[in-house]
Chains A and B, each alone.
Chain A
Amino acid sequence: MLLTLPEINLYPLLPALIPAVTAMLVMLADVLLPGKNKSWLALLALVGLAAASYFTVMLFGANLSAFNASIVADNFALGIALVILGAGAATILLSLDYLRARQLDLGEYLALLLGAVSGMILMALANDLIVIFLGLELFSLPLYVLSAFWRTNDRSLEAGMKYFLLGSFSSAFFLYGIALLYGATDATNLTKISAAASEPTVASNPMFLMGAALLIVGFGFKVGLAPFQWWIPDVYEGAPTPITAFMSVATKAAAFAAFFRAFMVAFPSAVVDWQFVLALLAVVSMTVGNVAALTQTNLKRMLAYSSIANAGYILIALVVGGQAGLSAALFYLAAYTVMNLGAFGGLVAMGQGDQERLTLDELAGAAQTKPWAAAAMAISLLSLAGFPPFAGFVAKFFVFGAAVNAGYVWLAVIGVLNSLVSVYYYLHPIVKMYMNPPAEGWAQAPARAPIFLAVAVIVAVLLTIAMGLFPGGMLNFAQAAMVK
């Protein structure tokens, strides 16, 4: 048997490669270089993310592919990569004071975070099921550890353990789906699967259908669609808050990127068969997420249920499909990233020392003691609820508009009704913060202004407003064609 070596072209892989190399540099620098204050490691990590962003922008429009077309750097993948890089940088800024207050090690944390960023971008660039699986594991494994990173906190450990067990359980289903598709089509490259699936005998093969169904289970778990959402509330509540912020936005972006690519490239005919199933999943996710969020008193848990509902909204864009669905999804993911980071950033800023203010009662009157954090959270929550002129309104408008244009009026109606339900639980914390007397036991002023945290939150809030007021520029960016 003759093996031909594929041509090695690392350039399209740079957005994923640079964070991985930076992770190794951070780990080495942490061990080899002396000094007790390691904050400069964060600078090294941020420089790495900036370099990766530079090459990501340079790659725009070139539509390069590498490694026998198992890596495709088209504009859609690069747009998702930019969202992930931005979320990674914001998470580093959110984490610095949070880690110091809990005496957690910065070097390992940054290395794991950069590893997760690298895996997520690999997943977004992947055009081959095995590469998608590798990217998925490469970001899941660091996230299991990061969820349990606050080792002395029982809740953090429990979150890590639950995430690990359910995450690897779902990965096994995903992998079994890949094996069945490989058996049915003799390929794992999405383009080749698409070619094989154009034969009716292959497309109706039970092994092929089973494989595609298992892929939906695997993706559904990672993006947090009901009924695969059981892990989300527990893990999001227990994990360190900056990691919860990172997971809620970056995991969603990466997993949805691969979800879209798998179903739009590999199963263009199958999408028609699966459209009803996907629409049903979208309806169930939106409803389960929004209804369960109504009764939550812990903000982290409430935002966890909100992330399930938001996964449902984004899935509507996949049901719509085509260029309209793709750009609506990219815009929604970018908007969701900035507004969710703003909300979680405000939540981190509310805390004092290693104490966090997470429940509605603890947040009462917070606008008097922490006016800036409260304002940031209020804007982000209003945007999540879909109020104009914020990014969340425009994002929902595009997704529901695309659904109506494609003839899915019923889906758009259910989505709008769900957004109305969600207004209650997004407004509840705002009312508590601004209209209730202050909760006792929270000091008037912070001991030290957390400057890095403030930068991240301010940028997130400004982007939330800018994307709502001037969606045009961002939308042009989102009109990114996917190369099939």
Chain B
Amino acid sequence: MLTVTHFTVLSAILFSLGALAVLIRRNPLIMFMGIELMLNAVNLAFVAFSRFMENMDGQVFVFIVLTVAAAEVAVGLALVVAIFRARDNVDMDEIDLLKG
């Protein structure tokens, strides 16, 4: 029998994997994917809580989060394209003009 705890733990694991991807990988595209994984882990948590508490709000929040995630990707990819045009390289470790 699946309980809400299973879903909570699964979403926590997915969220942590996404966060690790952002922290470890240096390619911005992979980092976006990590952020997407974090947001989808949150969606899983929302849906699970909504189902087990019989409160529809959580289902609606998922749509809001999906919309925000899509807008974020649009902005992020545009930034990657702009940087690639300017310097033919998008590795985050080599983008280091600003420091100190």
Contacts and interface: CB of A to CB of B under 8 A. Distances in A.
Given A168-B35, A179-B46, A182-B49, A161 B41 contact: no
Contacts of B55: 186
B71 A296 contact: no
Contacts of A370: none
Interface string A128-161: 0010011001000100110010011011011111
Size range of the interface on B? 35 or more
Given A141-B75, A186-B49, 17 more contacts: A130-B61, A133-B64, A144-B76, A145-B78, A157-B86, A161-B28, A161-B95, A162-B98, A168-B35, A169-B22, A172-B19, A172-B39, A182-B57, A182-B58, A182-B61, A183-B8, A296-B100
Contact of B75 (A145, A178, A188, A207): A145
Interface of B: 4, 8, 11, 15, 18-19, 22, 28, 31, 35, 38-39, 41-42, 45-46, 48-49, 53, 55-58, 61, 64-65, 68, 71-72, 75-76, 78-80, 82-83, 86-87, 92, 95-100
Interface string A387-429: 0000000000000000000000000000000000000000000
A307 to B, nearest CB: 16
Contacts of B98: 155, 158-159, 162, 233-234, 237-238
Nearest to B39: A172
A180 interface: yes
Interface in A1-47: 1, 3
* 7 smallest beta-carbon distances between A and B, as pairs: A172-B38, A183-B49, A234-B98, A179-B45, A137-B68, A175-B42, A179-B42
Contacts of B31: 165
Interface residues of A, number: 44
Interface SS of chain B: helix, strand, loop or mixed?
helix
A227 to B, nearest CB: 15
Contacts of A186: 49, 53, 55
A442 B97 CA distance: 25
A144 B76 CA distance: 9
Contacts of A296: 100
A137 B38 CA distance: 16
Contacts of B18: 172
Nearest to A183: B49
B39 to A, nearest CB: 6
Nearest to B12: A176
Interface of A: 1, 3, 130, 133-134, 137, 141, 144-145, 148, 151-152, 154-155, 157-162, 164-165, 168-169, 171-173, 175-176, 178-180, 182-183, 186, 188, 207, 233-234, 237-238, 296, 298, 301
